[in-house]
Amino acid sequence: MRVAVYYNNNDIKLEEMGKPQPGPGELLIRIMASGICGSDVMEWYRTRKAPLVLGHEISGEIAESGTDGFSEGQRVVATHHVPCDECRYCLSGNETCCDLLHNTNYHPGGFSEYVRIPRINVEKGVLPLPDGVSHDEGTFVEPLGCVVRGQRKAGIGKGQTVLVIGSGLSGLLHVQLAKSKGCRVMATDVNPFRLAMAKRLGVDRAIDGTGDVQEKVREFNDGRLADRVVLCTAALPAVRQALQAVDKGGTVLFFAMFDPKSEVSLPLFGTLSKGATLTTSYAAVKKDLIEALDMIKNRKINVKDMITHRLPLAETGRGFRLAAGAGDSMKVIIEPWR
């Protein structure tokens, strides 16, 4: 079968690999769509493991089934990381801290014609794709699931004022989810295309991130700062913006993934005197994915209009350049059988 092998963001080769063979309890999925995630283009994270086949936001059809739970031809989405649901982290609601979660994956990766889904992933991370939800839309289940989990941890709910810093894919999913909960939502970015996309998707106020964000928040919110701030960019100046823009008693959710070498000095006195909460979120588990899929199915979240590029497998390299460049692109989807 054909696969797109990653060496670095500017070196992705179309190569041949043996078609995986599913065992008992496993599935072989014919990949119909695979989204390029922001984490896929983080070279500091990916090149040390290269060469490899990336792609974890997948949707497809079951080509072979080794379990009675799923049948050939069935449309599904699948997640690459799953928890054990038995350890102390899982039992305390911190499933994404589970050791198993960091040691599960499917083979080889979504930028290929076929993927083998191990038994544990089949049991804990495969969902039928409902009629009316396209394969392209199905690639949003995993990233939206991560957003669902993050907002649950941050306690985002009706009547709050929410500031989303960074209007990339995750940021705009946060915007839409918060809006669906009855929040007043602001979003920042330094990219005019992304700010325009935020407006298109219903944000109440789009803010140029190069300006005085704190003052713009006060102008919008009758002199108050934001109840919740969601940090969706790893740009270090944005960390200070987030801490400055959160109101007394509010919460800052660190959602973006930072380079391990990143360090930032925090204005501790101001943060402590506000009584602000700083929290983090990582990944998603099946309950989050189920909620995300339900929202996509019921059109509570508009993912279709976030897709800017659909490319064949042979153009995966171009897709990575588009995603890494963060210009006039939002969601880039690879369709291996296009």
Q: Whose structure tokens read 């649950």?
A: 152
Mean of the per-residue pLDDT values of the chain: 96
Q: How confident is the model at residue 150 (pLDDT cuts 50, 70, 90)?
A: very high
* 306, HSE (Cβ side, Cα atoms, 13 Å): 31
Q: Tens of pLDDT along 301-324?
A: 999 999 999 999 999 999 999 999
Q: Which of 327, 311, 325, 328 is nearest to 55 (CA)?
A: 311
How far is residue 179's CA from residue 181's CA, in Å, rounded to a whole number? 5
Please give the helix or strand (H or E) that residue 172 lies within, else none. helix 169-180
DSSP 107: B
Rg (Cα) of the chain, in Å, rounded?
20
Report pLDDT for 35. 98
For residue 157, is pLDDT > 90?
A: yes
How far is residue 333's CA from residue 224's CA, in Å, rounded to a whole number? 39
Q: Report which residue type is found at 140.
A: F
Assigned token pair, 3: 């696969």
The values of phi and psi at residue 57, to 5°, are: -100, 80
**Cβ-Cβ contacts under 8 Å for 249 (sequence gap 6 or more):** 274, 275, 276
**pTM score, two decimals?**
0.97
Show me where the domains of the chain are located.
2-140+303-335, 154-280
How far is residue 52's CA from residue 20's CA, in Å, rounded to a whole number? 15
How far is residue 31's CA from residue 129's CA, in Å, rounded to a whole number? 13
Q: Which of 332, 306, 337 is nearest to 317 (CA)?
A: 332
Mean pLDDT confidence for 61-67:
97
For residue 268, is pLDDT > 90?
A: no
- Cβ pair 141, 150 in contact under 8 A: no
What architecture does CATH give domain 154-280? 3-Layer(aba) Sandwich (3.40)
- The third-level CATH classification (topology) of the domain covering 2-140+303-335 is Quinone Oxidoreductase; Chain A, domain 1 (3.90.180)
154-280 and 2-140+303-335 share a CATH fold: no
Name the 3-class secondary structure at 290: helix
- Cβ pair 143, 170 in contact under 8 A: yes
Q: Tens of pLDDT along 160-216?
A: 999 999 999 999 999 999 999 999 999 999 999 999 999 999 999 999 999 999 999
For residue 233, is pLDDT > 90?
A: yes
Q: What is the dihedral of CA 167, 170, 172, 175, to 10 degrees?
A: -110
> What are the CB-based long-range contacts (under 8 Å, 24+) for 311-318?
311/335, 311/338, 312/336, 312/338, 313/2, 313/3, 313/4, 313/14, 313/111, 313/112, 313/113, 313/338, 314/14, 316/4, 316/12, 316/14, 316/111, 317/4, 317/10, 317/11, 317/12, 317/13
